[in-house]
Amino acid sequence: MILGIDEVGRGPWAGPLVVGAVVLGGASIDGLTDSKKLSKKKRDALDVLIREQASGYGLGWVHADELDEVGLAEALRIATIRAVEQVKAKYTEIIIDGTINFLKETSKGQYVTTLPKADLLIPSVSAASIIAKVARDNYMALQDTTYPGYGFTSHVGYGTASHRAAIEKIGVTPLHRLSFAPLVKYKPVIASSIKTTKQVGDEAETIATQYLMAQGHDILQRNWKTKFCEIDIVSLKDQMFYFTEVKYRRNAIQGGGLDAITKKKQQQMTFAAEFYMSKHGLVDTEMCLAALAVTGTPPIVETFLQLS
C-alpha cells in the first residue's frame, strides 16, 4: 500500500508544474515505468488503466504565475501537498522520486522515503509519473487554441529552438514562467503592476499579434523600424502582405483606438509599407493597410479594420 509521488514540468519555460500521487493497492498493471521512457500512445493507454484500477490518485497543480511568486522549490512542495490531499485511499508508506522530502513539514513527512529513480523502480511512483505527464501534456495541447503560434503541443513548454523563436516573434503569454532566467527580460511587460507606456503598448501588440495568428496570418515582423518610419506588425495571409497599426485605449471613455488613424496617419502607413516592400525586394505583390484596436485591462481586441 505505497503512495507513490512524482512530478513533471520542473524545467519548462511555460505551463504548470504537476505532481502525481498514486496508490495502486491491489492493481497490477503491466508496462509501468518512467513516463519519459514511454511513447505518447503507451502513456495514454496506461493513464486510462491507472485511473480505472488504482485504489486512489491525485494531481497537484501550480501554474506559472504562482510558481513565479513563490519559486520552484516552494512550488514543488505546494504541488506535492495538493496531490496528496486528493488521495483518499489508505496507504502505509510514501515514496517520493528524488532526494527531497516535500512533505517533511506536514504530518505525513515521517512516513516518507525519498528514492532517486523511483519512477523506474516502484510501480506506484511510475504510475504517478504517467498520470502527471499525460495530464500536463493534454493541458498544454489545449493551449495551442488559446495561444496559437507557439507550438505548445509539440514542446509542451520546454525551451526548444522553435519555442524560443516564437517568443522572440510574438512575445510571452500568461503561461510563461517569467522568473526563469531566459524570460526575466519579459517580466516588466506582463508582471509589473505599474506599467510604462511602452510596456502597455508591447502587451497590446502581443495580444494583437496573437489575434492575427488566430486568423491565419503568418507574422513576418513585429516593430519593424528604420530611421524614416516604423510598422507595428507585418504579416502575410493568402499571398497578401498586411501592414497593421495597433492602437490601444485603456477604456472606452478615452475614445476608440481607431480614432487616431487620421488621413495623415494613413499616408505615413502607406509610405512605411511601400518602403518595407522596396527594402525586401517585393514587387508585383498585393498589400493591405490595416488597423487593430485593443482596449481594456487586460487588453482585448476590439476591432480589426482593413484600410485599403
What is the C-alpha separation between 175 and 50, in angstroms, rounded?
Answer: 28
Return d(Cα 13, Cα 87) in angstroms, integer.
29
pLDDT digits (tens, 9 = 90+) for 114-143: 999 999 999 999 999 999 999 999 999 989
pLDDT tens-digit map of 46-59? 999 999 999 999 99
Residue-level pLDDT at 192: 46
Indicate where the chain has its CATH 3.30.420.10 domain(s): 2-146
Distance, CA of 127 to CA of 148 (rounded, Å): 31
CATH code of the domain made up of 2-146: 3.30.420.10
pLDDT on residue 250: 65
Higher pLDDT pick, 281 / 19 = 19
Residue 191 is predicted with a pLDDT of 47
Q: Which residues contact 163 (CB under 8 A, 6 or more apart)?
A: 13, 14, 150, 151, 155, 157
Tell whether the model's pLDDT for residue 286 goes beyond 60: yes
Classify 226 in phi/psi space as left (phi over 0), alpha (psi -120 to 50) or beta: beta
Contact 223, 205 (CB under 8 A): yes
What is the percent of the chain with per-residue pLDDT over 90, rounded to a whole number?
Answer: 62
Residue limits of CATH 3.40.1350.10 in the chain = 194-306
Options 3.30.200.20, 3.30.300.30, 3.40.1350.10, 2.160.20.10; CATH of 194-306: 3.40.1350.10
Neighbours of 223 (CB within 10 A): 13
Cβ atoms 74, 17 nearer than 8 A: no
Tell me the whole-structure pTM to 2 decimals.
Answer: 0.66
> In angstroms, rounded to a whole number, what is the distance separating the alpha carbons of residues 148 and 293?
20
Can you give the pLDDT at residue 218? 85
Q: Residue 218: helix, strand or coil by DSSP?
A: strand
- Predicted confidence at residue 209, as pLDDT, reads 87
